[in-house]
Amino acid sequence: MLNLLWVLLGGYVAGILLPFCLPRDPNAQNLMTSVPAIVATSAGVVLGLLGLTSSEPVTGSLASTIPLLTLAIRLDSLAAFFVLTISVVGLAASIYAIGYLRHFAGRTSIATLGALFNAYLLAMTFVVLADNGFFFLLAWELMSLLSYFLVVTEHEKADVRYAGLFYLIMTHVGTAFIVVAFLIFFQSTGSFSFETFRHPGQPLHEGMKTLVFLMALIGFGTKAGIVPLHVWLPYAHPVAPSHVSAVMSGVMIKTAIYGLIRVYFDFFGGQFPWWWGFTVLLLGATSALLGVMYALMEHDLKRLLAFHSVENIGIILLGIGVGMIFQSYGLKELAALGLLAGIYHTINHALFKALLFLGAGSLLYATDTRNMEEYGGLLRRMPWTGLFFLIGAVSISALPPTNGFVSEWLVFQSLFLSFQIPTVFLKLMLPIAAAILALTGVLVLACFAKAFGITFLAQPRSAHARHAEEAPVPMRIAMGFLATFCVALGIAPMVVVPLLDRVVTPLAGISIARNILAIDGWALAPVNVEFSSLSTPVLALLLVALSLLGLALAVTLGGRLKPRRYKTWGCGINLSPRMEYTATGFVQPIKRVFSTIYQPTVKLETEFLDESRYFAKRRHFEFHIEPIFEKYLYDPLVAFFAALADRLKVIQAGSLHLYLTYIFVTLIALLLLAV
């Protein structure tokens, strides 16, 4: 298996170096960087699958000259699962890049972009493989920095630079918290090795454990984009090139989920009080609901998708949180179920969110705009992109029989099983979380009905959309690849569940695949068949069979008259795209019903004709929703630090001698402290 790791490493390194050998030809550079990435990610897929199925974790290490740093890796089932997720999405993104990078030819260096992308995937793979705290942080930081460089690919635009800076600051704040969490471990164990984190000589003090919990939650939470730490995500993800957005939203934010599971379930061995799980659950529910609510108001397709990442991270955390709650009450089976639901949703979200971002990229490629109000009628111009985007939309809306439905269903079941918890408070709170998840589910449906309907259906709303052309073949292949997985993971949970069970077993200490799979794997039945069961293959069969029944009824009961084609009745005047419902109009009732959350401001200015006030010459309509978190949480913080920096200005006189004095004084002080 280590050979495969070398293939992976070699592939990525080739993808970084090769494009620079051909300085002139962008097309050759494109191939030189994408093909090695495809090889490396394919190796990653195999490596992940082998790691998932092997019984013993694979380890390896290289000593380094830097003190405390050993380049140790460990491929256990959890790491293998994330390597698999990263590689599958990375593979699709690399295939996609072959077509998509043409978009950037002449505007930016394809060699640099491709090299950064390869390095980024490599860093991410090592984040989940690392078995040493120092090494982990190094890979983590590399991943963050490389993604920053990818985000600012189009740095000539001011909003891209702003988004990049915002992202850079937020991710470093997050990293700082993770560093603190690891330093606490280091302080009590004297080593950065994950093995000693797992089995420290003397157990961590209770207070310290709580501190680690909070630090890891904030640190990883920033990367995952949980509310209220999500503010950077809708800025940074959309401005990156679309295949990078797909990897960022699909898998980079999942490395934070990996971190949380690693720390809580692996390092702490699942020993924690119930309120840890409850906190995670609460944050999950909040992120899920607010994520989708803000997504609904977005008309920039990629920003909309970015907000949905916040929402889906929320759903994943609902699963993990409920698993943690069960774990702290010693209900091992249910804990395993919650965790399994969480990681099932992790891979599902990686697949459909990457698919949707790639779809958005194809739209951007074809129309040069991200504004949904300028799309329309694209299903005819881009039938394949449309079909794949529809599959992604159905999956993210958790509609049967796709993959999103299966994992959300499992989350629902684990929330319902809360009646086994001994406290009434949690017995009530968990069903409420289920209700919030139900609300989230329908709002996602509404949001993607809007996203797909406004984008792909009816008449084109702009010249861009009228002249759009279907995406190049590699881009279609990449989307089709992910779409196939979205359907396959939905109708074949009996294949997926045993694999995921191998991830969950060491963490929860119990294997539940046999309890979940009922009737020879045809149905999922968490805990027992009596309580609940689901069979997506049967549902899929029924859906197909009954559609055919509908068709048969239509043929036998009626004539076979060919439908007549005629224009839509527009009350006597010719139908124009301006009569279509807009994305803004579509969500108006939702905006109004939930106005307490949105705090919308609407401004309508009308300029009338001089002759009569009954005829408007020009109307100007503006509407904003209040960015609550930025206004009430981040702006005061920023103001505070700006004021603090202002105060500290006095010690920065700009004289080199003064600074040397500072360094000298600090050194003396530290030496004195050490003595």
**Which CB, 216 or 458, lies closer to other proteins?**
458
Please provide residue 606's backbone torsions phi and psi, each rounded to the nearest 5 degrees.
Answer: -120, 135
Contacts of 57 by beta carbon, 8 Å cutoff, 6+ apart: 51, 74, 75, 76, 77, 79
Q: CB of 478: closest distance to other proteins in angstroms? A: 23
Contacts of 104 by beta carbon, 8 Å cutoff, 6+ apart: 110, 113, 153, 241
**Which CB, 179 or 379, lies closer to other proteins?**
379
Q: CB of 397: closest distance to other proteins in angstroms? A: 6
Judging by beta carbons within 10 Å of its beta carbon (0-12, 13-18, 19+), is residue 26 exposed, middle or buried? middle
**Which CB, 61 or 515, lies closer to other proteins?**
515
For residue 481, the one-letter residue type is F
Q: CB of 497: closest distance to other proteins in angstroms? A: 16
Q: CB of 589: closest distance to other proteins in angstroms? A: 4
**Which CB, 60 or 600, lies closer to other proteins?**
600
Q: Give the distance, in angstroms, between the CA of residue 271 and the centroid of all CA atoms in the same chain.
A: 28
Q: CB of 576: closest distance to other proteins in angstroms? A: 9
DSSP 203: P
Bridge-partner residues for 622, per DSSP?
603
**Which CB, 145 or 457, lies closer to other proteins?**
457
Q: CB of 149: closest distance to other proteins in angstroms? A: 39
d(CA 536, CA 660): 69
Q: Collapsing DSSP states into helix, strand and coil, what is residue 533? A: coil
Q: CB of 446: closest distance to other proteins in angstroms? A: 4
d(CA 153, CA 110): 10
d(CA 471, CA 665): 63
User: Whole-angstrom distance between the N-terminal and C-terminal Cα of the chain?
Assistant: 49
**Which CB, 10 or 431, lies closer to other proteins?**
431
**Which CB, 579 or 665, lies closer to other proteins?**
579
d(CA 177, CA 171): 10
Q: What's the angle, vertex CA 490, arms to CA 365 and CA 245, rounded to 5?
A: 30
**Which CB, 435 or 660, lies closer to other proteins?**
435
**Which CB, 154 or 373, lies closer to other proteins?**
373
Q: CB of 582: closest distance to other proteins in angstroms? A: 8
Q: Collapsing DSSP states into helix, strand and coil, what is residue 343? A: helix
Q: CB of 319: closest distance to other proteins in angstroms? A: 14
The two structure tokens encoding residue 369: 């705009």
Peptide bond into 238 cis (omega under 30): no
Please provide residue 524's backbone torsions phi and psi, each rounded to the nearest 5 degrees.
Answer: -95, 130
